Amino acid sequence: MYECSKAVARRLRDPGFLQRYFVGVGLDVGSGPDPLGRYAALFPRLAAVEPWDVAQGDATLLQGVPDAKYDFVHSSHCLEHLYDPQVALVNWMRVTKPLGHVIVLIPDYELYEHRHWPSRYNPDHKHAFWPGVGERGPYTVVSPLLNPLTLLTALPPKIGLLVKLERLESTFLEREPDTTDQTLNPVSECAIEFSISACGTVSASGTETFRRRCGSAPRATVDTLWGAAASTPTGCSATASGTTPTSRTSSASAGRCADSPSIRWRLGAT
């Protein structure tokens, strides 16, 4: 189903997309037949969106795209098809201007795959994404299963600040059989959405270029997968370290962007 199109109504109700994320000229990686540019007129601060798909080149490296060219990068359900998601994210940040955002949608392993691997619905998926603290029973860890928190906080230092991480489960149909691909219906997203604010970049040669200190950015308000998030002093990266099923928290590491806000994650029920 057209997942970018599904997200439009939800995003139009979110001030973040209207005022911060979709601002200026963006790049839509993996745009395919459902490009974000189709809806550009609905977002008041969005000037234009350029598509990037197979015809434009490799989605991981974005070869030929200059550093800091775009105000934002958007990608809907492309990252799971790439062999190295971390390298892809680094390059997506590379082409993003300072204070710009990388906004990504990825399928949730529990809501979409129903904890089954390989994928029954898309055999081209090379990775599954899930924090590993699901609410619907036991699961089996699969080798390509990636914790999105671990993936995002393992990015090179001074690359970016995670400002949004949300599990899109409000339209998940609990009574549907576990063999159902719910993304085939017109409303269920079954996904995880995150946004990273550009902090710095790594060039194609691997040389880090400092753009700005994370600490100069506004204090982040982070939407977590299952609950509310609170900001605390120091650090700009978070690591997942669940404790008990009713109180899963992880505090930020002070080892990255040392004078920026840290994030405390509450992954349990609020």
178 assigned to some structural domain: yes
- Residue 146 inside a domain? The answer is yes
Q: What total number of domains does the chain contain?
A: 1
On whether residue 264 sits in a domain, the answer given is: no
**In-domain check, residue 67:** yes
- pLDDT higher than 70, residue 266: no
Q: Whole-model pTM?
A: 0.74
The CATH number covering residue 74 comes to: 3.40.50.150
End-to-end CA distance of the chain: 32
What is the reported pLDDT for 244?
25
Domain that holds residue 154: 3-230
Asked, for residue 251, whether it belongs to a domain, the answer is no
Residue 261 in any domain: the answer is no
Q: Tabulate helix, strand, coil % of the chain (nearest 5).
A: 20, 30, 55
Write down how long the chain is: 270
Chain segment 68-79, per-residue pLDDT in tens: 999 999 999 999
Cβ atoms of 256 and 170 within 8 Å: the answer is: no
In a domain, 190, yes or no: yes
Q: Which of 62, 50, 46, 52 is nearest to 32 (CA)?
A: 52
Q: Could you tell me if residue 88 is inside a domain?
A: yes
